[in-house]
Amino acid sequence: MLGDADLAALVPDRVFDGGDLDCGSGLALLIRENMREVPDGGVLELRSRERTVTDDLPPWCRMVGHEYLGRLPGRVAAEQRFFVRKGAGEAAAREEQALQADKERARQYEWRLRARSSGHLRTTVYCRNFQWHLGQPASFEAKDEHPSAVEALLGAVAADLVTGFVTACGQAQLAVDDVELTARGRLHDVLAHLGLADGDPAFAAIEVKLFASTFADPERVRAVWQETVRRSPLAATLAKAADFSARIAIV
């Protein structure tokens, strides 16, 4: 590894911001993709705010044939700058093969969970090391013991967009102080769900609106929001099934 003075004097061949992603969230795949733009023996600088990268990156470099050079504090709190020298020859060839294999595994990945009835109007969902409770498919009550499945779906797309937007802002070097999103959903005919009509029980419209507090360039922030919506798995799916509206208000 290099000392701080030597690291500070380095001129990387490529710099990319991993935001708050960890290796399990696709960071390793992004590192490999960005390393393709670095010549053999060149240096990649990774900027990250995810604390696990400090422990995970050095052994990963040894495993794949790159040289971990060290890290420096970043420009903002919690950020670290990591420097990696790209391996040459066989190591570079192996990495290219590994990148293609990683991409194919990512394309074929399936998310799995199971759900079990666990009481009156209650289903327990189990996924990885998590479990949570959901109530009935839809509810008109002002207060319930558990959120309905409809609310869970709206909450999922809201979380998808909020987390995705904050991560994308970090990668774009845009400081955002506060982010909040509201979501509204309406069915074509809830009576069809209740068995009281022969209509369409599907969502007719879903509207989300994100509020972001920032002094950054509004046009850049809007561009990041539009890209976040475009890349959201849930927003993209729902937009194919319903009238999906995604707006942003910069405050």
Out of 30-44, 49-63, 88-102, 141-155, least confident range: 88-102
Bridge partners (DSSP) listed for residue 208: 183, 246
> How would you label 189-201 residue by residue, b for 16+ Cβ within 10 Å and e otherwise?
ebeebeeeeeeeb
Q: Is the dihedral of CA 25, 52, 173, 245 positive or negative?
A: positive
pLDDT at residue 85, rounded to an integer: 95
- Please state the CATH superfamily assignment of the domain spanning residues 4-108 in this structure: TusA-like domain (3.30.110.40)
Cβ pair 212, 249 in contact under 8 A? yes
Bridge partners (DSSP) listed for residue 132: 125
* Domain ranges, ordered by start, for the chain: 4-108, 111-147, 149-250
Cβ pair 241, 213 in contact under 8 A? no
Cβ pair 189, 197 in contact under 8 A? yes
Residue 23: is its pLDDT beyond 90? no
pLDDT at residue 96, rounded to an integer: 85
Tell me the pLDDT of the chain averaged across its residues: 93
The burial class, CB within 10 Å (0-12 / 13-18 / 19+), for 169 is buried
pTM exceeds cut of 0.85: no
Bridge partners (DSSP) listed for residue 123: 117, 134
Does CATH place domain 149-250 in 3.40.50.150? Answer: no
Residue 24: is its pLDDT beyond 80? no
What does the alpha-carbon distance between residue 66 and residue 42 come to, in Å, rounded to a whole number? 10
Mean pLDDT of the 79-103 span: 88
Residue 92: is its pLDDT beyond 90? no
